[in-house]
């Protein structure tokens, strides 16, 4: 079939993390999908740091995997180091992170997409959208093609009118070496969309052979590694590459300040907002003038390359300033640059213009995912792409949208935050944003989400079977511990070895195992327990689930109850035709915000900034009528 005569179910514009997950999801749900990207060599390119996961982001990658996305599998296949962050804290905070081989990551993504039935590829730049009234019906490309589609997912990343800054130089581009994308913003603004500008930046890449690692502190991966995907097709890392830690110093800061008068950030050439939690090095020394040093993580870009990512030194200062300042850092005296750091400004569309399914409110069948919605980070983008891909297919098939609640997934928190509160700076996920983080752990994403995804036709039968077995074995072991009585002579030696209070009569093992100072493996010397584990083929993943259940069941139950109370308000739907200007007693601000955002439920309305508890009471009374 020719591009000229085919009407695709889904056209995905952009081949970054959001676009790649969107294409995979829609294709795996049976939709005829076209992925259009400016450069097929750069599918799922890691434009910034060569790593996936981290605090809260690791939970998102596991959720993507549990739903049937590809990010977890690709990360496992191309990882060069693995760490479980926050292991000293409770399991709600544990966050997996992997350093990736940048080139292999992109290659693996492309290979997986090429092996996915229903995905077609086309290398071109989209510079226009085709509408039929308030519906989207296709896209236009720079080469003049008009391609028809039932739905379109825009995932343009930093390419929408992208502008790169290095010192006093400014030029158009979506990232170094690649052109910007023009035309789409203008078409959307003409249709009544509100757009804005955001900024992000990236540090220099340097030659590992020119660094003195003896002056840095080695940062190895975990001794016992885990992985992201719940499927057995990937394995934990057996060998790893280390990262290294060094610091800026007062000389570094003084040399950087010398270039402030030529900095696009301080001269006013960059007017847009950058990411609060990933500031440039010049921003750090300006805002935190009292600090005499900042961390610099030296991260290898892959197994076989000498290219190194200088994490913590994001900058858009002139090249000569970057060069002088970085040489003052321990280990960088003889550094050779592969490329200099730069900042990039790009268009985004405030996400309050979206519905919960990531479809735009103004144009039917048009979906946005990724940085176009004001987010930052591969993981946040991939999650939105996955959800947009799912919902585009459900829309075509006339089915209810797939929406995750805040109590069900970090992805639910992410989307709810975006469409309810909007964002005026690049949005990044943190565990602190999730009020139900004890429920939303990285270890149970499959139990939470795979059944939901299987129901809508995305997660495979194999995934669903594995979840059933995991749940059954977890329940079985919990039941066994609840019923197993242990005698003093069996348990007291274990307690004495840990300097803990002993028992003076037989006791159920689950009661003792819930003590925070004890590890489940401490009890494996008890024959009855070890025999049960062996006979039932119970692995470490099940044991971890059971241990979390034993130690945190009280917190988990409390959080579930809180979620249930709030979810009752999620069930109180607000009709689309409600005219807030006619509801007396609502504050003026509430009327303005409710009219703009058009919340779907009372619960969503309660989370809008500027809508007070008394406004919610008025709404509930109105709804009761």
Q: So what's the pLDDT on residue 513? A: 86
Mean pLDDT of the chain: 93
Render pLDDT for 434-477 as a digit per residue (tens, 0 to 9).
Answer: 889 999 999 999 999 999 999 999 999 999 999 999 999 999 99
Q: So what's the pLDDT on residue 176? A: 82
Residue 64 binned pLDDT confidence (cut-offs 50, 70, 90): very high
- Rounded mean pLDDT, 272-296: 87
Q: Distance between CA 569 and CA 68 in Å, rounded?
A: 29
Residue 327 binned pLDDT confidence (cut-offs 50, 70, 90): very high
Render pLDDT for 203-230 as a digit per residue (tens, 0 to 9).
Answer: 999 999 999 999 999 999 999 999 999 9
pLDDT above 90 for 252: yes
Residue 26 binned pLDDT confidence (cut-offs 50, 70, 90): very high
Least confident range from 18-32, 113-127, 222-236, 422-436: namely 422-436
Q: So what's the pLDDT on residue 480? A: 93
Q: 185 with 338: CB under 8 angstroms?
A: no
Q: So what's the pLDDT on residue 210? A: 98
Q: 139 with 181: CB under 8 angstroms?
A: no
Q: 413 with 422: CB under 8 angstroms?
A: no
The DSSP letter of residue 132 is E
Count the alpha carbons within 13 Å of 146 in the hemisphere toward its beta carbon: 5
- Rounded mean pLDDT, 305-314: 97
CA 611, 615, 617: angle at the middle one, nearest 5?
135
Q: So what's the pLDDT on residue 514? A: 86
- In the chain, what percentage of residues exceed pLDDT 70? 100
pLDDT above 90 for 264: no
Render pLDDT for 505-539 as a digit per residue (tens, 0 to 9).
Answer: 988 988 888 888 888 888 888 889 999 999 999 99
Q: Distance between CA 491 and CA 40 in Å, rounded?
A: 61
Residue 321 binned pLDDT confidence (cut-offs 50, 70, 90): very high
Q: Distance between CA 19 and CA 182 in Å, rounded?
A: 18
Is the pLDDT higher at 302 or at 612?
A: 302
The b/e string for 118-128 (b: 16+ C-beta within 10 A; e otherwise) is bbbbbebbbbb
Is the pLDDT higher at 551 or at 19?
A: 19
Residue closest to 352 by CA, chosen among 448, 307, 417: 417
Partners of 300 in the β-ladder: 308
Q: So what's the pLDDT on residue 271? A: 77
Using DSSP, state whether 300 is helix, strand or coil: strand
Q: Between β-strands 95-100 and 146-154, what pairing exists: parallel, antiparallel or unpaired?
A: unpaired
């Amino acid at each position: 079939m020719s591009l000229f005569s085919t009407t695709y179910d889904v056209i995905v514009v952009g081949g970054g993390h959001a676009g790649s997950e969107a294409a995979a999801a829609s294709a795996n749900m049976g939709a005829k999908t076209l992925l259009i990207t400016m450069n097929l060599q750069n599918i799922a390119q890691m434009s910034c740091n060569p790593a996936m996961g981290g605090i809260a982001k690791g939970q998102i990658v596991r959720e993507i995997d549990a739903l049937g996305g590809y990010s977890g599998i690709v990360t496992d296949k191309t990882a060069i180091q693995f760490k479980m962050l926050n292991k000293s804290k409770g399991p709600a905070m544990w966050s997996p992170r992997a350093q990736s081989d940048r080139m292999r990551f992109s290659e693996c993504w492309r290979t997986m997409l090429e092996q996915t039935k229903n995905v077609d590829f086309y290398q071109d730049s989209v510079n226009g959208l085709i509408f039929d009234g308030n519906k989207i019906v296709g896209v236009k490309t720079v080469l003049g093609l008009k391609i028809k589609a039932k739905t379109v997912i825009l995932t343009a990343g930093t390419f929408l009118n992208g502008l790169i800054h290095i010192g006093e130089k400014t030029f158009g581009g979506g990232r170094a070496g690649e052109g910007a994308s023009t035309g789409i913003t203008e078409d959307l603004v003409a249709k009544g969309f509100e757009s804005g500008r955001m900024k992000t930046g990236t540090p220099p890449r340097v030659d590992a052979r020119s660094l003195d690692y003896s002056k840095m502190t080695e940062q190895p991966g975990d001794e016992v590694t885990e992985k992201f995907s719940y499927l057995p097709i990937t394995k934990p890392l057996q060998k790893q590459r280390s990262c290294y830690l060094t610091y800026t110093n007062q000389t570094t800061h003084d040399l950087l300040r010398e270039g402030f008068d030529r900095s696009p950030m301080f001269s006013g050439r960059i007017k847009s907002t950058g990411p609060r939690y990933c500031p440039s090095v010049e921003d750090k020394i300006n805002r935190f003038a009292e600090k005499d040093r900042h961390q610099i993580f030296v991260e290898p870009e892959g197994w076989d390359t000498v290219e190194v990512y200088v994490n913590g030194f994001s900058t858009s200062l002139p090249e000569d300033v970057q060069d002088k300042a970085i040489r003052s850092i321990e280990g960088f005296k003889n550094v050779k640059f592969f490329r200099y750091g730069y900042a990039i400004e790009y268009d985004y569309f405030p996400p309050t213009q979206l519905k919960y399914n990531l479809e735009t409110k103004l144009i039917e069948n048009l979906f946005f995912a990724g940085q176009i919605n004001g987010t930052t980070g591969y993981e946040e983008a991939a999650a939105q792409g996955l959800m947009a891909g799912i919902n585009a297919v459900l829309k075509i098939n006339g089915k209810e949208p797939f929406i995750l609640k805040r109590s069900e997934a970090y992805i639910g928190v992410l989307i709810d935050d975006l469409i309810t509160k909007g964002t005026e700076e690049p949005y990044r996920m943190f565990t602190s944003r999730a009020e139900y983080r004890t429920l939303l752990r990285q270890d149970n994403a499959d139990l939470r989400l795979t059944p939901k995804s299987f129901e809508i036709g995305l997660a495979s039968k194999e995934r669903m079977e594995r979840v059933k077995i995991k749940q059954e074995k977890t329940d079985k072991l919990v039941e066994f511990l609840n019923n197993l009585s242990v005698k003093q002579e069996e348990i007291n030696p274990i307690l004495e070895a840990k300097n803990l209070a002993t028992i003076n009569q037989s006791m159920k093992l689950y009661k003792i195992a819930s003590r925070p100072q004890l590890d489940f493996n401490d009890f494996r010397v008890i024959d009855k327990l070890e025999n049960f584990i062996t006979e039932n083929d119970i692995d470490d993943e099940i044991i971890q689930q059971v241990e979390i259940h034993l130690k945190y069941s009280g917190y988990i139950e409390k959080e579930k109850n809180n979620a249930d109370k709030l979810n009752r308000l999620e069930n109180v739907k607000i009709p689309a035709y409600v005219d807030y200007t006619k509801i007396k007693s609502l504050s003026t601000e509430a009327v303005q915000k409710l009219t703009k955002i058009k919340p779907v439920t009372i619960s969503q309305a309660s989370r809008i900034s500027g809508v007070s508890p008394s406004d919610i009471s008025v709404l509930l009374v109105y709804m009761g009528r």
